[in-house]
Amino acid sequence: MQAFTSEQINQFRAETPGTEKIIHLNNAGAALMPAIVKASIDQFLTAEYLAGGYETAADQREGLDTFYAAVGKLLNASSKNIAFAGNATDAYNKALSCIPFEQGDVILTSFNDYSSNQIAFLQLKKLRGIKIVFGKDLPSGGLDPADMIQNMDIYQPKLVAVTHVPTNSGLIQEVAQIGRACQDRGIYYLLDACQSAGQLVLDVKTLGCDFLSATTRKFLRGPRGTGFLYVSNRVLQAELSPLFLDLHSAAWSKDNQYTPRKDAKRFELWEKPYALMLGAAEAVAYANQIGVDRIEQQVKYLSAYLRASLSSLPRVRVLDQGLEKAGLVTFTMAGEDPVQLQHFLRKQGINSSHTTLAYNRYDMKAKQADWLLRLSPHYYNTLAELDRTIEVIAQV
Q: Whole-angstrom distance between the N-terminal and C-terminal Cα of the chain?
A: 31
Minimal distance, residue 359 CB to ligand PLP, in Å: 8
Counted residue by residue, the chain has a size of 396
Residue 195 near ligand PLP by CB under 6 A: yes
Query: Is the CB of 300 or the CB of 374 nearer to ligand PLP?
Result: 374
Residues 288-291: contacts with CB under 8 Å, at least 24 apart: 288/70, 288/73, 288/74, 290/12, 290/379
Stretch that binds ligand PLP, among 6-14, 161-169, 246-254, 308-316 (CB under 6 A): 161-169
Binding residue for ligand PLP, selected from 26, 27, 60, 215, defined by CB under 6 A: 215
Query: Is the CB of 163 or the CB of 351 nearer to ligand PLP?
Result: 163
Closest C-alpha to 75, from 265, 203, 210, 219: 203
Query: Is the CB of 179 or the CB of 260 nearer to ligand PLP?
Result: 179
Query: Is the CB of 31 or the CB of 194 nearer to ligand PLP?
Result: 194
Minimal distance, residue 224 CB to ligand PLP, in Å: 8
Minimal distance, residue 74 CB to ligand PLP, in Å: 16
Binding residue for ligand PLP, selected from 3, 88, 295, 375, defined by CB under 6 A: 88
Minimal distance, residue 213 CB to ligand PLP, in Å: 7
Residue 235 near ligand PLP by CB under 6 A: no
Element (DSSP H or E) covering residue 288: helix 274-290
Residue 142 near ligand PLP by CB under 6 A: no
Binding residue for ligand PLP, selected from 161, 194, 202, 276, defined by CB under 6 A: 194
Closest C-alpha to 198, from 97, 372, 74: 74
- Region of residue 129 (left: phi > 0; alpha: psi -120 to 50; beta: else): left
Minimal distance, residue 139 CB to ligand PLP, in Å: 22
Binding residue for ligand PLP, selected from 66, 87, 321, 351, defined by CB under 6 A: 87
**Percent helix, percent strand, percent coil in the chain, to nearest 5:** 45, 20, 35
Q: How many residues bind ligand PLP (CB under 6 A)?
A: 13
Give 106's strand partners. Answer: 131
Query: Is the CB of 260 or the CB of 327 nearer to ligand PLP?
Result: 327
Residue 187 near ligand PLP by CB under 6 A: no
Minimal distance, residue 205 CB to ligand PLP, in Å: 22
Question: According to CB under 6 A, which residues from 296 to 335 bind ligand PLP?
Answer: none
SS3 (DSSP) at 143? strand
Q: Compute and round to an integer the Cα radius of gyration of the chain.
A: 21
8 A C-beta contact, residue 301 and residue 313: no
Residue 167 near ligand PLP by CB under 6 A: yes
Binding residue for ligand PLP, selected from 40, 60, 89, 352, defined by CB under 6 A: 89
Q: How far apart are CA 343 and CA 338, in angstroms?
A: 9
Instruction: Kindly write down the DSSP assignment for every residue of 302-350, as one continuous string.
Output: HHHHHHHHHHTSTTEEE---SSSB-S-EEEEETT--HHHHHHHHHHTTE
Residue 149 near ligand PLP by CB under 6 A: no
* Contacts with ligand PLP, 8-47, as mask; x by CB under 6 A: ----------------------------------------
Query: Is the CB of 56 or the CB of 353 nearer to ligand PLP?
Result: 353
Element (DSSP H or E) covering residue 189: strand 188-192
Stretch that binds ligand PLP, among 36-44, 98-106, 159-167, 290-298 (CB under 6 A): 159-167
Element (DSSP H or E) covering residue 8: helix 6-14
Q: How far apart are CA 320 and CA 296, in angstroms?
A: 18
Residue 93 near ligand PLP by CB under 6 A: no
Residue 114 near ligand PLP by CB under 6 A: yes
Q: How far apart are CA 197 and CA 191, in angstroms?
A: 11
8 A C-beta contact, residue 196 and residue 202: yes
Binding region for ligand PLP (CB under 6 A)? 87-89, 114, 116, 163, 166-167, 192, 194-195, 215, 227
